[in-house]
Structure 1
């Protein structure tokens, strides 16, 4: 009994790691298969523990340490990787809850970007990634939009069409994750809300939209905007590369209002 539980626990850890890797590269088919296997392994583990005799040597052993909690920044990073585009905290929270078992709350993200910037300044590039800001045409941080530092600079810029392009990109990513409404009810609800803002993506009935239809409708509209948006972002990224230092390229240049505020409070 003890050996079998040990084997199951190792397999569960391997499956969890596999799910995370698949999510990082957006391999939804592999992630779905691994999640199903993970649920089966966890049910088997629960069944073995519940039927273990009281004198099983396992019962007298110290309890294994609790699994490491996923930090707020890790959960945010997972959400951004799924979405693949700059996003607001409420969308990141919804994605984490739907697909990653996340426990984020929007207020936990309030000071996250400032903390990341302080960390970068104290030890530049000391972390594999940073949660940074999307940058506006003024090269200042876009209000309420987070990005991943590992993305190309152009993807982290916000031109006139970028909010719509990013919304459509995120909708496609969510639809790709939603493969079974019964297994992913949170994802289906999120997709329903997003589909309402995409022409032709949903029927008038109250049921969840078909993910394939959402993807098709989002891509059709995306094709209208993406060429111009790509050009605008490339131009902004070139400006950022030539005008900003390392810190500002990730977190944005100070605006005049920010400078004035610092002078007053200083």
Structure 2
């Protein structure tokens, strides 16, 4: 819980700074957006501290069925939806699969590289002016951008770092989140086929889950994913925490969100 409180407090400070900037610039539209984001962060902080007995659920996007598509959202908002549902960094391919399964439309993956670059330019020109940014995941050794893995700037550094075990931890965490979302959709109706196919693909790569029947058992899938996650989670968390501490000491705000620029050593210096 302490980690989540620290992350929320850091985010609230960022939003307060952005609100002051919007006030100075007279940007009323941005001010309203930032104010709502700040209120959500405050409510989440109160829930974690036990000050709110009726926590809201507006932090999580609500999955939709194919009968209720959300085609009108900008690409960055669609990416935000998918990442918020997964709660871990993800590749463009997975983000598109998740968005198609749970929000009825695939993502234009060809535009995601440009989107991330646009996000970095926006952040560098006006830091924290937006409620969130689609940012990079950092490698634990070099603190450089991990290839083809997107994250949210509102997540703590620890959640945006990839170590040797992190990919597996993310896979299992995503399986748990998708299982939860599938149960939210199911009720008494049959799951949409796109959701079933996505979870069946996950189930084929989770130790301890018997998928020989070809049918989807959400309870068994959750149990198998949680059991394996327990094996790796602590070691991975320690690696990411150490890397996050180095990043805070060595990198500025932009580099913490989008990675450091690796310096190329000239041949002359290498052979001197």
TM-score normalized by structure 1? Answer: 0.71
Q: Which runs of 5+ in 2 are unaligned?
A: 1-55, 267-272
Quick one: which of 242, 245, 249 aligns to 2:252?
Answer: 245
Q: How far apart are the structure 2 equivalents of 1:121 and 1:203?
A: 47
Quick one: which of 108, 114, 118 aligns to 1:115?
Answer: 118
Q: How is 1:35-54 mapped onto 2 (pairs within 5 angstroms)?
A: none
Aligned CA RMSD, in angstroms, stands at: 2.4
**1:164 corresponds to:** 168
Q: Is the 2:71–2:105 Cα contact (8 Å) retained in structure 1?
A: no
Cα distance change on mapping 1:167 and 1:23 into 2, 3 Å: farther
| 1:204-260 deviation line (CA, Å, top 9, x unaligned) | 1233x2111111101100000001011101000000000000100000001235x98
| 1:53-107 deviation line (CA, Å, top 9, x unaligned) | xxxxxxxxxxxxxx98200000001000000001111111111111112231321
Q: How is 1:18-167 mapped onto 2 (pairs within 5 angstroms)?
A: 22=57, 24-25=59-60, 31=62, 69-137=72-140, 138-167=142-171
Q: How far apart are the structure 2 equivalents of 1:129 and 1:107?
A: 21
**1:200 corresponds to:** 208
* DSSP-derived class of the 1:230 partner: helix
Deviation beyond 3 Å, 4+ runs, structure 1: 21-24
Q: Which has the larger radius of gyration?
A: 1
Query: How many residues end up aligned between the 2 structures?
Result: 205
**2:218 is aligned with 1:211:** yes
**2:198 corresponds to:** 190
TM-score normalized by structure 2? Answer: 0.70
Deviation at residue 22 of structure 1 after TM alignment = 4.6
73-82 vs 96-105, which deviates more?
96-105
**1:255 corresponds to:** 262
Q: Which runs of 5+ in 1 are unaligned?
A: 1-20, 43-66, 261-266
* DSSP-derived class of the 1:146 partner: strand
Q: Is the 2:97–2:106 Cα contact (8 Å) retained in structure 1?
A: no
Q: How far apart are the structure 2 equivalents of 1:221 and 1:192?
A: 17
